[in-house]
Structure 1
């Protein structure tokens, strides 16, 4: 979970993390080991999105803002956010009894 830090209302719940975990890229092999858990990176990103704050204003008990920004930018360039949103949208559509890829017509 979150270790000994303050829990924020934007932190992922266990069920939310279980949904997102397979969509988050693994640590790349051969490099140095990750210092911060992927879940903590997502928690920091969720805080940043909800607060609408500058990167440097992320709370100090979350991973460093430079690290959070690095993953946000890298995953943006790699299309991770698009794949994640597509997977979540399809999951929601299936739960509603719709076809996963079907588009709404106006």
Structure 2
């Protein structure tokens, strides 16, 4: 059996052991299941390289399958649960409580072209676009991100 090309974005065995426990149970109905590690590796390839879904290499699962699973898991909150659980593990490993008691919030106004979500004018920065607010814990681990019109005041 020919071994597929390894990519720098692929999960290590240790990373896979952590993540596979956090994935939803497989459905007993429908098509034969695809190896979930291959699905995660394909998603990480898109995230790492910035390529279009349709441009996934042929040695990864079909792009439409990967894309469909990605969005199903997004809508079901799977990615949020994985993120939260991994953040808890990192905090415990650093000797902190699993849930933070303090947060650091910052914002950034970003110039955007027309289209997409609502845009506004940030008079302080003299930018027309959107503003993102990010909250992190004291270790710099992401807690929340909110994106809205740049006219929204801090």
TM-score for both structures, normalised by structure 1: 0.91
What are the residue-to-residue correspondences of 1:45-60 with 2, within 5 Å?
45-60=43-58
Higher deviation after alignment, 79-88 or 25-34: 25-34
Q: Indicate conservation of the 8 Å contact 1:27/1:33, yes or no.
A: no
* 5+ residue gaps, structure 1: none
2-side partners of 1:75 and 1:29: how far apart?
17
Residues 65-103 of structure 1: per-residue CA shift (max 9 Å, x gap): 000001100000000000000000000000000000124
Answer 1 or 2: which has greater strand percent.
2
Structure 2 match to 1:13: 12
RMSD of aligned Cα (Å): 1.2
1-side partners of 2:102 and 2:83: how far apart?
16
TM-score for both structures, normalised by structure 2: 0.64
Which structure: larger Rg? 2
**Higher RCO (CA 8 Å, separation ≥ 6 residues):** 1
* 5+ residue gaps, structure 2: 105-154
Residues 54-74 of structure 1: per-residue CA shift (max 9 Å, x gap): 100010000000000011000
> 1:27: Cα distance to partner?
1.5
